Amino acid sequence: MIALVRPALDAEIPSRQGIGGLVGFFDRFGRHVVHLARDAYDMLEFTGHLVAAIGRTIIHPGRLRITPLFAVMQDAGINALPIVFTMTFFIGAVIALVGTNLLTTLGVEVFTVELVGVAVLREFGVVIAAILLAGRSASSFAAQIGAMRMNQETDAMQVMGVDRFDALVIPRVLAAILMMPLMTFCADIGGIAGGLLVSWATIDISPVFFIQRTLETVAIKHFWMGMSKAPFLALVIAAAGCRHGLMVGGDVQSLGRNVTSSVVQSVFMVIMFDAVFAVIFTVLDL
């Protein structure tokens, strides 16, 4: 037995550190391409499982776990409203300040009202709310599910016949979809309030005139265009967080890596899909 094993023990293991130059570049490039292809396949597989789980929940509403749903709604939505309002308040103030400085030189500083209204209702309200949801909730979803993976709780659920998507993914996804419009509405109010305060302090536009001009000049379609993005962005963010949580292995490094990846991927997809929506709305002349 020793005689059979010794040649394998004495053989030198080829090291990738010796690969250099052009060969090493193609080696690393090929590995990254394979990793991206595997990640894309895993994403498609997760999407298929998620669609099937949502379909089962729609057909059989009794499968939905109400208690986790409301718990996630409170944690991801209600508790996030103060920070969402504060962030968009300062965003609206910055927009009004920049617009005031620019439009005053042209003698049309009154158009600051339209600038704040359109920018906040159409873009910044929903985007800032989505980014905060990605930072707070996507990382939380990935960490919670990842910790359960490390403790083998998900394996125990599978042994007991409990579907992981029904128990862990669906409540989080539905909670994000239900709470994102509320967060967007709160963000819109905060952004307009910030713009109102700056306009009042810098160019002496009274709050009554600001609100009246906003209602007269800013079309309601901008509000609905921002709201229409909210459920889709919430679905993307929650799905990314849950997917990376289920990808966690048995070590802490895997947990940290997937939590970071969930936030980065969520923010990237929010910006990308917001650009896609902007192109669609432009083509539709909205």
For the segment 57-95, what is each residue's pLDDT rounded down to a tens digit?
888 888 888 888 899 899 888 998 999 999 999 999 999
- What's the pLDDT at 76? 86
Residue pLDDT, tens place only, 179-214? 999 999 999 999 999 999 998 888 888 889 889 998
- What's the pLDDT at 62? 82
> Lowest mean pLDDT: which of 56-65, 170-179, 263-272?
56-65
Residue pLDDT, tens place only, 5-50? 777 666 555 555 544 557 777 888 888 888 888 888 888 888 888 8
Which tokens in the block code for residue 214?
């906003």
Q: Are 158 and 164 in contact (CB under 8 A)?
A: yes
Alpha-carbon dihedral angle through residues 203, 209, 212, 217, given to the nearest 10 degrees = -40
Q: How far apart are CA 180 and CA 129, in angstroms?
A: 8
- What's the pLDDT at 165? 84
The owner of tokens 């459920």 is: 231
- What's the pLDDT at 11? 56
CA distances from 41 to 36, 45, 122, 139, 277 (A): 9, 6, 34, 22, 25
Q: In whole numbers, what is the pLDDT of the chain averaged over residues? A: 86
